[in-house]
Structure 1
Amino acid sequence: MFNPNQSRIFALPPGTDFPAELVSGLIARMAAQPPQAMAGVTVYLNTARMRRRVIQLFAAQGARFLPRLLLVTDLATDPRLALPALVPPLRRRLQMAELIAKLLDAQPDLAPRAALYDLSDSLATLLDEMQGEGVSAEAISALDVSNHSKHWERTQTFLRIVTPLFADASDAESRQRLAVQQLAQRWHSQPPTGPVLIAGSTGSRGTTALFMQAVAQLPQGAIVLPGYDFETPPAVWQAMDDALTAEDHPQYRFRHLMDLLGIAPDAIQPWRTTAPPDKRRNLLISLSLRPAPVTDQWLVEGPNLPDLCSATQDLSLIEAASPRAEALAIALILRDAAASGTTAALITPDRNLSRQVTAALDRWAILPDDSAGRPLAMSAPGRFLRHTSALLGQRLTADSLLTVLKHPLTASGAMRSAHTRLTRDLELKLRKSGPAFPTDADLLEWAAARKDDALPWARFIADTLQGLDEIPRRPLADHVAQHRTLSESLARGLDPIGSGELWVKAAGIEALALMETLATEAPYGGTFSAAEYCDLFEALVNKGEVREPVQAHPNIMIWGTLEARVQGADLVILGGLNDGIWPKLPEPDPWLNRSMRKKAALLLPERQIGLSAHDYQQAIAAPRVILSRAVRNAEAETVPSRWLNRLMNLMDGLPQKNGGVALAEMRARGAKWLALARAVEQPTAAQKVDPRLRPAKRPAPQPPVSARPPKLSLTNIERLIRDPYAIYARYILRLNPLDPLHQSPDARDRGIIVHDVLERFVKTRPLNETRAAARARLLGLARIVLAEESPFPAARALWLAKLDRAADHFLTQDSKHGGTSLALETKGALKLENLAFTLFGTPDRIDRLPDGTLHLIDYKTGSAPKAPQQKQYAKQLLLAAVMANRGGFADLGPSDVAKISYIGLGASEDVVETEITDAILTEHWEKLLNLIARYLRRNTGYTARRALFETRYPGDYDHLSRFGEWEMSDRAVPEHVGPDAAGPEPVGDAE
């Protein structure tokens, strides 16, 4: 097949269909041989997807013998080789985690305990790399770190201890390297009778490069390189002699391989003479990717490029405003390709983008063939197991309980409907009245008060979750066993046997395999706390993938960057071309820095960038290419990928080759898809006239007078002035807002507790109490109330400290006017004259002053309202004074009010006092009558957000009023609602 006296290192240029050309070349070279000779050919390929495509291409040629198609990564599976048994990767990582745990115990400043498994994973990866690159432990120990920081000296010391312990461990990399060595020895004495080829690999890893050396030495051994740039000048090849400056170049791997094989660039021959789709574009891309030290060649070689308008005629550039717009534009391109029968592939390392594109394609019932599958952590079983692991060692909260109970896999057997109903009722109870940390007793008490089948269900939940917060540090196997038992019990529900739907379908099978693997290897893991086990499980499940059997569209693919070598697509979309995504930033190495890696002959971080650059160079050479990026993400503006940036800069700098014009045309072609994406999001002409799809107007509902509230509290008068719609929703529609599911201490909770403390302080005041004793009693009561009312330890400490700071200010105001606090047995209420309405409520405190008049006091944990605010809307104490003056407090009778005071107990010593006169009382009485009389008319609407103090104020009913579809500057649209609805009336009546 090959002439032993000639070079047998072949290559194909970027853009060619590598598998198709490989198959065609094989068939052409074997044409003179008998048919069975093809069966004697052995071809090692780099990926399983490449092998599948090669098989398909051979099958398309008709009935024939196939060569032996093997994978480079499967050399260690050859049964003829004498290899030690493989040590499972998880076992090795757990063993390392135990050692690293001791390191963190001795040096806690090195890393947090939560990073335990990540550190063990990175250490195992480092040892794998050392095996693959043939770097010994002694080489790491011999590194000179005297000029580095103390951190690197400590890690080197640790590596000096650890690496010998695992030097003989039979991991995947060591077995692969041992397999290559044994094959090379066998071939040296007994060369294969048939041709042996390695195709599709760049030799970027040490073991693979060693195998390529062994194949190259065979009489009939050959290498077929992908994406080799035949247009690279000799000077550029010579400049790539230093990995520190050239590692990130797409062709550097080939320069490194040439050095290993002892050949020059001109020794690499074309495998086929087939030209790439567009040689002119390849020249442009090649020049744009020159290594940084030789980019001055842009000035020399740039003028020699062909006309850039023709070179980029099949190249488009999408610069979307957001990732969503980018995903929709790509989805439209793929939809168009599906409709026209074009084979199209989206190539991107951004899994978020690929998922968004998949979701957008779903509207047209197009399911792409996604090479990466779905992350196990985002599948239903993966999420369920993450939720249940988070319960271990933690105090049960309302939101964590409901998160698990509402998961579709919980009680996924025959009792699912009853479980869903009871979960909904329990959520309403927990949102409305808590507690924030429900206990077994709370669940059973709630269920016992019901008259349905809640008690057995609540007892099951209580028994299943009992004692989870008291898990001690223990062997890893115990955590795994309890985690699985807990998960299966919750998934089974009240069914007597089984585990519900937890372990079914592809995702469930993958999740079960993870749990079984973890259980098998757990004895090697030492002891873990519950929190450390949760971190370990999160790290493991995040690495899992699920490949579900689906009937994908035959012509629409989503590939990772490695699949760019497979090619075969007429249209290629390079998505997510932003720096940090493509190329991905190198992962930080906590064990060796860049300089130490260089001295130890390990791979530099730029290697991954160089591999991505090589994939990019191959993908952009496809017949038709669309480059895509989002100019802004959710946080800030993005930076274009360095390769795209170079390409645009090079084109902009070649006006004599129409570079600027060509770039503008590329953007114009991309803008068409962006315009189409915007059009898809816009309503059609028919939708614009559909009243169901029109933006809502600012509401001002006008219910019947009979439905309007006959009484309101003092605090709700302010709400009626500022946001009347909230009164309508709560007291007419009877919609009460629910507390958030995740309960946390907020300003309202603090206000309730502070008022309770001050009320108890006043009611239990002894005679002749000194100020020091009063202060001590106040803080003692605060500790008692906080312990009773707040389940949040941090909030208790914080609020007690704040009350301690405000105590002196409160005590000063408490004794300032010499009043005596009055205790009221009944709540104040005042019926308005000639109106079917009652005002009710009681101020925080009423003092009787020495002259017999009243002093009304309200405590504010925030800032106290100033006089202008009280005049316009903060009328709580002013109206309370009106009530007291008119006998609204039955225990006191009609009483004169001397003053009202708002006492702030927040960060500043805030006090706002107002002297009460007959004129003030008369003014606010008449305003109250006018306000209530107005809202007791049918034509007065309850306007949404009528006069808020802050427009950012989050109202409880904003979603109901459709705020956001209308603006604060919009006029309200009144509308009669209720049984006698009669249509809209003039806006003025609503305002």
Structure 2
Amino acid sequence: MSQSALFDSPAPRVFTLPAGAPFLTALAEGLHAAFPDPEILAGVTVLAPTRRAGRALAEAFAALKDGPGAALLPMIRPIGDVDADDPPFEPGELAEAAPDAISPLQRQFELARLIGARETAAGRSMSAGGALSLAGDLARLIDDLATQEVEDLSALTDDIRAALPAHRQEAALFLDIILTAWPARLAELGLTDPARRRSLLLRALARRWREHPPEGPVIAAGSTGSIPAAADLLSVVAGLPKGAVVLPGLDTGMDEAAWAAVDDTHPQRAMKALLARMELDHRAIPAWPWARPGAAAAARARVIAEALRPAEATGDWLNQVDAIRAGRGEDAFAQALAGLSLIEAPAPAEEARAVALALRETLETPGRRAVLVTPDRALARRVIVEMARFGVELDDSAGAPLSDTPPGAFLMRILDAARDPGSALALIALYASPLLALGEARAALSLDLMALERWCLRGRRPGRSTAQLRAHVETGDLPDWMEPRRARFLDLIDVTLTALAPLTELSGEQPCAAWAQALARAAETLARDAERAGAERVWAGDAGEAAAGLVRGFLHESEALDALTLDDFAGALLETARARMVRPRAGGHPRLQVLGPLEARLISADRVILAGLNEGVWPAGAKIDPFLSPGMRARAGLGAPEQRFGLAAHDFAQLACLPEVILTRSTKVDGAPTVASRWLWRLQTLARGALGADADAALHPDTDYLALARALDHPAQRTSVRAPAPRPAVEHRPRALPVTAIETWVRDPYAIFARHILKLRTLDAPDQPAGPAERGSAYHRAFERWVKGLGTASELPRDAHDRLVSEGRAALLEAGMPEDLLGLELARFERAARFVVSWEEERRRAGFLPEIIEKKGKLTLHDAPGGPFEITARADRIDMRPDGALDIIDYKTGRAPSANEAYAFFAPQLALTALIAAEGGFEDCPRHEPGDLIYLKAGGGKTPGEAASIITSPGSDEAADKMHEAREDLIDWITRFDDPDTEYLSQPRRKWTNTYGDYDHLARRKEWASAPGEGGGED
């Protein structure tokens, strides 16, 4: 068909490209055939719905060119994102039809200011981040109003508001901003909303073309006219002497009853309204002359159209099935379902793996292209991860929030470190960023940063200021072999704190621009490496450019916001960074794409995978407008939320009609059953009605991707393994242990293997709050200092309790107990102190005096088969009794072992400490037999304290007997592990297990707990 023939039909001139046809390819082929002269083709204007569709159309034209050299293309312009500086909106008089558009970020700032002012007037306060979040919702409502060209909101009367429930009345008050404050502010700025400007420009172009038709041909292709201003322009284009509109997938075969029943949720809704505007009959719209869908494509389109038939007209389904068979043959449904398959996976992980296999299979055929289309970004990310196992890198067109990218996260970590200058956790997070270099080579610097974290930044919080942080690194304990590196650690801290100074030196409330400038300076200083300036690193790449744009916006467009504290600025930056998506640039994989439904409009490929077809996902659930109820939206003239379902249904129908389509869904998500998408459910219902029991087989893919997905990680053979049971050589086994480790050795040999043979140490969490361990250490330290201060007097001073409480306060602060909890902890300690003072007074009057306090002792046992074995102990306290015997006392703030545990050698600490004392292992302590073995429990709880002896017959030789039994048991235990065949099992005695062990995860204790008999357990 020639150019003249294309425009021979009377206006309005509307065509349709049937669903299933490669829209852009057929459009390019038709225009190339209608305008074979390249110079004439270059004068054709093509209005595409989106920029992505425009780029894809240009690629379709380029693919038609024969031979080398550049190709002349028509002028392709997007309707959905117009620019007044580009043709066909030139010359400049069209730009004068609308003021410049306010930038999205500036609008968010301005709206946040108005929201904050409204909250202040109401006697409430709102953080900057909260106001910005609410401003984003308000901006979307403003865009809805502008898109639908709602000018008069008088319908939103006080009567309507009064009829709303209480939670809606509060939200409706924000409409005052839209009705009065926001228009007034835009007028002051001389700007307008982006959506309103688009509508004004489209209306202006429609008026100009209506009055002065362009000389060159104009083709509007791919738009459905869902935007009123765009529908007006399409109507004008269809009536131009050389104009035509090409609709995507108009159902010209729908009967009149079904057409009348088309509602907001139907794929044809927008085009029905557009054709009504032009006073055209949908059945009279011709197909694009160069569209040649085959019989299979036509059958597929008919079946999909019937599956999505309006609900009111589904009573005619059986008649329509018969009609399809009558018109296209008995095998029409089988022909329509050829190339269409369904995968119903048990969970999203299996769905993603099956999709990845289908994508990977496409690459086996040279030149074939595949597209994954899904609105489920989590599923898209899963697929991208699965593809990485095949060495295929994909980009998600939806991108990622700026806050989740390295530059965005780097900025937030800088702010966290500046907001909380005494926090080791904030500093560790900052050091983990790959962008931090401190002027050095990042690879070498990382080793020093890891050592700094390991030795200086773990454990209790350093403090609340940079000075306390530095002092913590300067004075903290280091192993002797690490001491020479302390200067290096201090240098790293100093360089970091200097770089953060632009932020930390500002105080109180500051303008956003001041915080943004300080943040940029700090980021560039911290990011500088040995070869490149910090700006070259932190602002590089797509994410870096987006981060730079965001900071630039806070520098130049945030005047509307009031002065903020650093905390409020951080919240505002985080809120805007979360809302700003960083999308990959055009390119990516040459044959595979991951797209959302919007990006996939008009796109075609050899294989299309439509994934996430569950109700609430695709289509998405109806969003709740935080400001307008459905009734208020209707009164205001806004479209019903269900209109989005119609657009989504059209996207699905267009894609589902392509030659090879795989539909996927998960039957369960997070263990909960899901409901199939309404479109999928209707398609399955129609297929089963037409094909009966053969429907499921017809929709089953030729390749069983789910079976392949299961086999992908299925081992070729299974090897049974037993629970960890290491047997190191005897010479590697420990020959010295503290008495506290003997209990661990008896209960959990694997822990001794991990700690004393593998030399593995648990790492404290950074900024670890003071807990039971710190409380216990503080109580021990306070009791030690207090008892030493008392000397050996038989009477306690009158202020003994006050002294102990004073020592307790100091010890709690040293242990890192925060000031805000000190009152509660000190009250607890005072209760314990009263008990301890009373107990001490009673003992001293009876002649029991402390002999040694917090002293170390040791004893070497020479009768073990593997050679000498040394045991060590740190005695909390050993008292001399009037009869010359020794009382072994151990302080406990938590649960003390029972006598049964002690007698069963599961708590041998006191007995073995007594053994060391009896053998003279404690310096300054005479050799004496034990008199009593006492746990002094002083936790300050409901029972403030208790002296619990594990000796049942005081005054007898029971303590000495227990001591000798413990020695014999220890020799037996040492002898057992001097046998090279003895294994270090993880908590083998089920009756005497610890609820938690530092090395349980290495021994996979929880995993083996469900496999009785596998771990060599003993009773």
- Shorter-chain TM-score bucket reads 0.7 to 0.9
Within-5 A mapping of 1:79-98: 79-80=90-91, 81=94, 82=96, 83-98=98-113
1:67 aligned to 40, 61, 74, which one? 74
Residues 452, 412 of structure 1: CA spacing in aligned structure 2 closer, same or farther, 3 A cutoff? closer
- 1:554-596: CA deviation from partner (whole Å, max 9, x where unpaired): 3222222123322321211112333443333444433223322
1:56 aligned to 54, 59, 68, which one? 59
Residues 295, 949 of structure 1: CA spacing in aligned structure 2 closer, same or farther, 3 A cutoff? farther
In structure 1, distance between residues paired with 2:607 and 2:634:
40
Mapped contact 1:2–1:220 kept (Cα < 8 A): yes
In structure 2, distance between residues paired with 1:303 and 1:904:
87
1:211 aligned to 233, 237, 241, which one? 233
Residues 758, 968 of structure 1: CA spacing in aligned structure 2 closer, same or farther, 3 A cutoff? farther
Mapped contact 2:266–2:646 kept (Cα < 8 A): yes
How big is the shift at 1:845? 5.2
The answer for the alignment partner of 1:118 in structure 2 is 133
The answer for the alignment partner of 1:979 in structure 2 is none
Deviates more, 1:907-916 or 1:10-19: 907-916
Q: Does 1:897 align with 2:931?
A: yes
Mapped contact 2:875–2:913 kept (Cα < 8 A): yes
Mapped contact 1:367–1:551 kept (Cα < 8 A): no
1:677 aligned to 709, 714, 733, which one? 709
The answer for the alignment partner of 1:837 in structure 2 is 869
Letter in 2 for 1:104: E
In structure 1, distance between residues paired with 2:122 and 2:783:
49
Letter in 1 for 2:707: A
2:852 aligned to 824, 843, 851, which one? 824
The answer for the alignment partner of 1:530 in structure 2 is 566
Mapped contact 2:688–2:695 kept (Cα < 8 A): no
How big is the shift at 1:264? 4.8
The answer for the alignment partner of 2:84 in structure 1 is 76
Mapped contact 1:878–1:900 kept (Cα < 8 A): no
Q: Does 1:618 align with 2:623?
A: no
In structure 2, distance between residues paired with 1:753 and 1:720:
27
Q: For 1:74, what is the secondary structure of its paired residue?
A: coil
Q: For 1:135, what is the secondary structure of its paired residue?
A: coil
- 1:271-320: CA deviation from partner (whole Å, max 9, x where unpaired): 35633754444444334434556655557756777675554332222233
The answer for the alignment partner of 2:479 in structure 1 is none
Q: For 1:838, what is the secondary structure of its paired residue?
A: strand
How big is the shift at 1:161? 4.1
Normalised TM-score (structure 2): 0.83
Q: Does 1:253 align with 2:295?
A: no
Q: For 2:154, what is the secondary structure of its paired residue?
A: helix
1:158 aligned to 174, 190, 200, which one? 174
Mapped contact 2:372–2:609 kept (Cα < 8 A): yes
Normalised TM-score (structure 1): 0.85
Residues 146, 803 of structure 1: CA spacing in aligned structure 2 closer, same or farther, 3 A cutoff? farther
| Structure 2 residue ranges without an equivalent (≥5) | 1-5, 326-330, 477-481, 953-957
Residues 535, 259 of structure 1: CA spacing in aligned structure 2 closer, same or farther, 3 A cutoff? farther
Residues 952, 591 of structure 1: CA spacing in aligned structure 2 closer, same or farther, 3 A cutoff? farther
How big is the shift at 1:476? 0.2
The answer for the alignment partner of 1:239 in structure 2 is 261
Letter in 2 for 1:354: A
How big is the shift at 1:706? 4.0
RMSD of aligned alpha carbons: 4.1
The answer for the alignment partner of 1:978 in structure 2 is none
Q: Does 1:22 align with 2:22?
A: no
How big is the shift at 1:423? 0.9
Q: For 2:643, what is the secondary structure of its paired residue?
A: helix
Mapped contact 2:439–2:526 kept (Cα < 8 A): no
Q: For 1:573, what is the secondary structure of its paired residue?
A: strand
How big is the shift at 1:268? 4.1
In structure 1, distance between residues paired with 2:665 and 2:531:
51
Within-5 A mapping of 1:481-880: 481-492=517-528, 499=535, 501-546=537-582, 552-633=588-669, 635-637=670-672, 639-643=674-678, 646-647=681-682, 650=685, 657-664=690-697, 666-667=699-700, 669=702, 672-684=704-716, 697-741=722-766, 743-760=768-785, 781-790=807-816, 792=818, 796=822, 799-800=825-826, 822=850, 824-825=852-853, 826-832=855-861, 834-835=863-864, 836-842=868-874, 844=876, 858-870=890-902, 871=904, 873-880=906-913
Mapped contact 1:700–1:942 kept (Cα < 8 A): yes
- 1:408-432: CA deviation from partner (whole Å, max 9, x where unpaired): 2211755434422321220121355
In structure 1, distance between residues paired with 2:317 and 2:111:
49
How big is the shift at 1:708? 2.9
Residues 445, 159 of structure 1: CA spacing in aligned structure 2 closer, same or farther, 3 A cutoff? same
Q: For 1:120, what is the secondary structure of its paired residue?
A: helix
In structure 2, distance between residues paired with 1:952 and 1:615:
59
Mapped contact 2:46–2:74 kept (Cα < 8 A): yes
Letter in 1 for 2:293: A
Mapped contact 1:49–1:566 kept (Cα < 8 A): no
Deviates more, 1:180-189 or 1:170-179: 180-189
Residues 843, 497 of structure 1: CA spacing in aligned structure 2 closer, same or farther, 3 A cutoff? same
Q: For 1:874, what is the secondary structure of its paired residue?
A: coil
Mapped contact 1:863–1:906 kept (Cα < 8 A): no
Mapped contact 2:29–2:64 kept (Cα < 8 A): no
Residues 500, 739 of structure 1: CA spacing in aligned structure 2 closer, same or farther, 3 A cutoff? farther
How big is the shift at 1:752? 2.5
Mapped contact 1:16–1:567 kept (Cα < 8 A): no
Mapped contact 2:11–2:240 kept (Cα < 8 A): no
Mapped contact 1:43–1:199 kept (Cα < 8 A): yes
The answer for the alignment partner of 1:338 in structure 2 is 363
Residues 554, 799 of structure 1: CA spacing in aligned structure 2 closer, same or farther, 3 A cutoff? same
The answer for the alignment partner of 1:976 in structure 2 is none
How big is the shift at 1:484? 0.4
Q: Does 1:938 align with 2:980?
A: yes
Letter in 1 for 2:500: L
Letter in 1 for 2:180: P
Mapped contact 1:319–1:667 kept (Cα < 8 A): no
Mapped contact 2:614–2:676 kept (Cα < 8 A): yes
The answer for the alignment partner of 1:43 in structure 2 is 46
Q: For 2:620, what is the secondary structure of its paired residue?
A: coil
How big is the shift at 1:334? 1.4
The answer for the alignment partner of 2:955 in structure 1 is none
Q: For 1:934, what is the secondary structure of its paired residue?
A: helix
Within-5 A mapping of 1:135-174: 135-136=150-151, 138-139=153-154, 141-142=156-157, 144-167=160-183, 168=187, 169-174=191-196
Residues 560, 709 of structure 1: CA spacing in aligned structure 2 closer, same or farther, 3 A cutoff? same
Residues 392, 897 of structure 1: CA spacing in aligned structure 2 closer, same or farther, 3 A cutoff? same
Residues 847, 118 of structure 1: CA spacing in aligned structure 2 closer, same or farther, 3 A cutoff? same
Residues 828, 908 of structure 1: CA spacing in aligned structure 2 closer, same or farther, 3 A cutoff? farther
How big is the shift at 1:140? 6.6
Letter in 2 for 1:426: L
The answer for the alignment partner of 1:180 in structure 2 is 202
How big is the shift at 1:832? 3.5
In structure 1, distance between residues paired with 2:8 and 2:827:
88
The answer for the alignment partner of 1:411 in structure 2 is 437
How big is the shift at 1:200? 1.3
Mapped contact 1:860–1:906 kept (Cα < 8 A): no
Mapped contact 1:201–1:225 kept (Cα < 8 A): yes
How big is the shift at 1:222? 3.2
In structure 1, distance between residues paired with 2:506 and 2:833:
38
2:950 aligned to 892, 906, 914, which one? 914
Q: For 2:600, what is the secondary structure of its paired residue?
A: helix
Letter in 1 for 2:498: D
In structure 1, distance between residues paired with 2:656 and 2:533:
56
The answer for the alignment partner of 1:202 in structure 2 is 224
How big is the shift at 1:481? 0.5
Q: For 1:524, what is the secondary structure of its paired residue?
A: coil
Q: Does 1:441 align with 2:471?
A: yes
